[in-house]
């Protein structure tokens, strides 16, 4: 009786472990997609910031400080 329960539990846990190990096959693809999505969001925010005139103001500020120190 105990031997059959042991074999049942052994086969059950090995099947469960095998199922868990097979479920993470697409994880790298999902992580890659999330990284690409994050990069696209950052690029979009950078474009919005650049179109708002902030880059021109930053460049003018740096240029005036450099020429003021010379």
In the chain, alpha helices (H) = 2-22, 27-51, 54-69
Q: What is the pLDDT of residue 54?
A: 81
Q: What is the pLDDT of residue 53?
A: 82
Please state the domain extents for the chain: 30-70
DSSP for residue 70? -
Q: What is the pLDDT of residue 42?
A: 94
Q: What is the pLDDT of residue 50?
A: 82
pTM for the model stands at 0.48
Using CA atoms, how far residue 23 sits from 16, 27, 31, 37, 63, in Å, is 11, 8, 14, 23, 55
Provide mean pLDDT across the span 29-50. Answer: 91
Q: Which tokens in the block code for residue 36?
A: 């690409």
């Amino acid at each position: 009786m105990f031997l059959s329960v042991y074999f049942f539990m052994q086969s059950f846990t090995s099947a469960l472990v095998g199922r868990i190990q097979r479920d993470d096959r697409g994880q790298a693809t999902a992580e890659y997609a999330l990284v690409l999505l994050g990069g696209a969001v950052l690029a979009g925010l950078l474009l919005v910031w650049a179109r708002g005139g902030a880059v021109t103001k930053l460049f003018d500020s740096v240029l005036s400080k450099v020429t003021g120190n010379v």
